[in-house]
Amino acid sequence: MPELPHPVIGNWYRQENGELFEVVALDADDATVEIQYFDGTIEELDVETWEQMGLEEAEPPEDWSGSVDVDDDEIEELQDKPEEEFSDPLEYLDRQG
């Protein structure tokens, strides 16, 4: 039987059903592991549940937008864009006054 991976904050894991999640917090006092699924759902597990999940370490998903409720069309709109274009930084400062 393969050795179970230890929970490490920031590492990604795959369940037997293929579902991916990231460990986001550990609480040694309560013996719990807090995980966040790709869709943003957060769940707290006790250590016994962790050990029974049949996990394997996994690479983080390439598509970072799983837990972000943003359509592809909206991504460009959300990027920082200057309201006006200035070729001279001093001109920009003059207009701020």
Chunked into runs of 10 residues, the chain (97 residues) has average pLDDT values of: 81 93 93 92 94 92 64 57 60 65
Q: What is the pLDDT of residue 69?
A: 53
DSSP assignment of the chain equals: -PPPPPP-TT-EEE-TTS-EEEEEEEETTTTEEEEEETTS-EEEEEHHHHHHS--EEEPPPS-GGGGS---HHHHHHHS---SS--SSHHHHHHHH-
